[in-house]
Amino acid sequence: MVAVSDLPLFEQFPALKERIPRLEIGEFPTPVNPWERIGRRAGIPDLWVKRDDLTAPRFGGNKVRTLEFALARGIESGRPLLVAAPHGSSWAAACAYYGRSLGADVDLVLFRRPSQSEREPNDSIIRAYGRELRSCRTPIGIPLAFAGAWFRGRRLPPLILPIGGASARTALGYASAALELAEQVRSGEMPRPDLIVVPVGSGGTVAGLLAGVALLGWNTLVIGVRVNHLLVANRWSVQRMARNSLRVILRAGKRRRGLPLPEFELEADYFGGEYGLPTEEGREAARLVQEEEGVKLDLTYTGKAVAALLGRAREGRLPGPTVLYWHTFNSRDLTKLL
Ligand SMILES: Cc1ncc(COP(=O)(O)O)c(C=O)c1O
């Protein structure tokens, strides 16, 4: 069940293959496309998008790369997985769907969040594929719900996945994604980016990208657009995760000396004060991208990330002409899974 394949990261660091289990869920590489129309309107000379909405044929988005590592570990351990997330979360939906499809036992604890603008169809997927569902009113109830699951008389205690699946190990998926991008740059699909912009929820995605860009030695600025509270993701937690991920990789390559992380900024001005609360700038960015490029942004993550990018372009704060927006929101039709 647990497979290894030729992720660029595994090709460059074969010893990682032996050490780190991974399930093949995604189809890589995901395309890179120019976004000329938006670029023209926003005054970004060379704007590109990395289409991680297309990471898998049925259910894409950034969490596919995370789950390849998180689920493999769960299946290998033989323990049930326990996931806590807000209602309507893509992470919870992806865990439920892929967990069920790949034979992992995934139990879910869902808590309400104040604004529930985009519940469907993630909630329908969670209901259809989740094994054990527990609900609590606020994140404060999570430990109790976890304890309930723990004491249910299982032989093995559950493996509790971190919020959003973010860990040094699962970040390897995005370290490899950066190497995948480098192959696309080498083959002439796009120029090397001066700037990469990506949304930040739990921080695992951007941490992996930071580790990957460090391996590449690129002089690229990485901007994470924070859409969650500081307690969940902050500069310190992201950089720590990136360093730990890099350490796992370099150890497999028998390298003693570390590598510096690339320049990193965590942009917080587009958060809107509450996780999941749509903002005017986010709505406007989503409308523009839909109109000009035909790509759907969500209002919790990607709308805010693109709004931040457009804001920086307006303020003339781009480090160079070539900008890559890393798109993370699933674009596959989830109703087909119901
Ligand atoms: C669409 C989308 N983009 C970005 C993120 C943030 O990823 P991370 O939690 O790794 O920071 C998420 C997290 O669920 C997401 O659903």
Q: Is the same domain home to 45 and 104?
A: no
117 belongs to a structural domain:
yes
Query: Taking all residues of the chain, what is their mean pLDDT, rounded to a whole number?
Result: 92
88 and 232 housed in the same domain:
no
Domain presence at residue 129: yes
Whether residues 124 and 230 share a domain: the answer is no
Please tell me whether residues 112 and 197 are part of one structural domain: no
Report the pLDDT value the prediction gives residue 140, as an integer from 0 to 100.
74
Together in a domain, 49 and 146: no
Interval 39-60 mean pLDDT: 98
Mean pLDDT for the stretch of residues 246-251: 97
- Calculate mean pLDDT across residues 1-15: 78
Residue 116 pLDDT exceeds 60: no
| Centre of ligand 1 from the C-alpha of residue 202, in Å | 7
72 assigned to some structural domain: no
Please indicate whether residue 301, judged by its CB atom, sits closer than 6 Å to ligand 1.
Answer: yes
* 114 has a pLDDT exceeding 80: no
Asked if residue 68 belongs to a domain, the reply is no
Structural domain count of the chain: 2
Is the pLDDT at 4 greater than 70, yes or no?
Answer: no
Domain that holds residue 320: 8-62+167-333
Please give the average per-residue pLDDT across 167-182, as a whole number: 98
Same domain, residue pair 23 and 152 = no
Let me know whether 197 and 324 are in one domain: yes
Q: How much distance in Å is there from the Cα of 227 to the middle of ligand 1? A: 9
Residue 1: band (very low, low, confident or very high) from pLDDT cuts 50, 70, 90 = very low
Domain final residue pick, 157, 183, 213: 157
User: What distance in angstroms lies between residue 250's CA and the mean position of ligand 1's atoms?
Assistant: 26
CA 301 to ligand 1 center in whole angstroms = 7
pLDDT of residue 250: 97
Same domain, 91 and 198: no
276 lines ligand 1 (CB under 6 A): no
For residue 208 and ligand 1, the question of a CB distance below 6 A is answered with no
Give residue 241's pLDDT band: very low, low, confident or very high (50, 70, 90): very high
Q: Can you give the CATH number for the domain in which 251 is found?
A: 3.40.50.1100
Q: Distance, CA 149 to ligand 1 centroid (Å)?
A: 26
Does ligand 1 lie within 6 Å of residue 205's CB atom? yes
Examine the pLDDT at 252 and tell me if it is beyond 90.
yes
Distance 89 CA to ligand 1 centre (A): 9
Residue 74, in any domain of the structure: no
Query: Whose alpha carbon is nearest atom 14 of ligand 1?
Result: 91
Q: What is the mean pLDDT of residues 72-96?
A: 91
Q: Is residue 286 predicted with pLDDT exceeding 80?
A: yes
Q: Give a yes or no: residue 275 inside a domain.
A: yes
| pLDDT greater than 50 at residue 20 | yes
Percentage with pLDDT > 70 across the chain: 94
* 142-169 per-position pLDDT tens digit: 777 777 766 665 567 888 899 999 999 9
| Residue 3: predicted pLDDT | 43
Clarify whether residues 236 and 273 are in a common domain: yes
338 falls within a domain = no
- Residue 224 Cβ contacting ligand 1 at under 6 Å: no
Q: Evaluate whether residue 71 is within a structural domain.
A: no
166 lines ligand 1 (CB under 6 A): yes
Same domain, 178 and 289: yes
Is it the case that residue 96 has pLDDT exceeding 90?
Answer: yes
Distance 63 CA to ligand 1 centre (A): 7
User: How far does residue 91's CA lie from ligand 1's centre (Å)?
Assistant: 8
C-beta of 170 in contact with ligand 1 (< 6 A): no
Give residue 267's pLDDT band: very low, low, confident or very high (50, 70, 90).
very high
Same domain, 153 and 253: no
Ligand 1 pocket check: which of 63, 231, 306, 325 to mutate, most ligand atoms within 8 Å of Cβ?
63
Q: Which atom of ligand 1 is nearest to the CA of 204?
A: 10
The Å distance, Cα 113 to ligand 1 centre, comes to 16
Which is higher by pLDDT, 131 or 268?
268
For residue 122, pLDDT beyond 50: yes
Q: Which of 52, 170, 205 to mutate to test the pocket of ligand 1 (most atoms within 8 A of CB)?
A: 205
Provide the pLDDT for residue 154: 57
pLDDT at 2: 40
State residue 151's pLDDT score: 65
Is 80 a pocket residue for ligand 1 (Cβ < 6 Å)?
A: no
Compare 195 and 110 and report the one with higher pLDDT: 195
Q: How far apart are CA 95 and CA 98, in angstroms?
A: 5
pLDDT value at residue 113: 73
Whether 302 is in the pocket of ligand 1, judged by its Cβ within 6 Å, is yes
Average pLDDT for residues 176-187, to the nearest whole number? 98
Q: Ligand 1 centre and the CA of 289: distance in Å?
A: 19
Mean pLDDT for the stretch of residues 199-220:
98
**203 & 308 share domain:** yes
pLDDT at 240 over 80: yes
